[in-house]
Structure 1
Amino acid sequence: MIAKHVKPRGSTKSSFHRLVDYITDEQDKEHRVGLVQSVNCYAATIDAAVTEVLATQQQNTRAKGDKTYHLLIAFAPGDEVTDEQLKTIEAE
Structure 2
Amino acid sequence: MTVAVFDHEGPWTEEEYLSLGETSQRVELFDGSLHDKVLKMHHYAAAGIDWYLLADQAAGALRLHRRRGRHYVEHSAAKRGETLELTEPVRATIRPEELLP
TM-score (norm 1): 0.27
Largest Rg, 1 or 2: 1
Higher normalized strand content (fraction of residues): 2
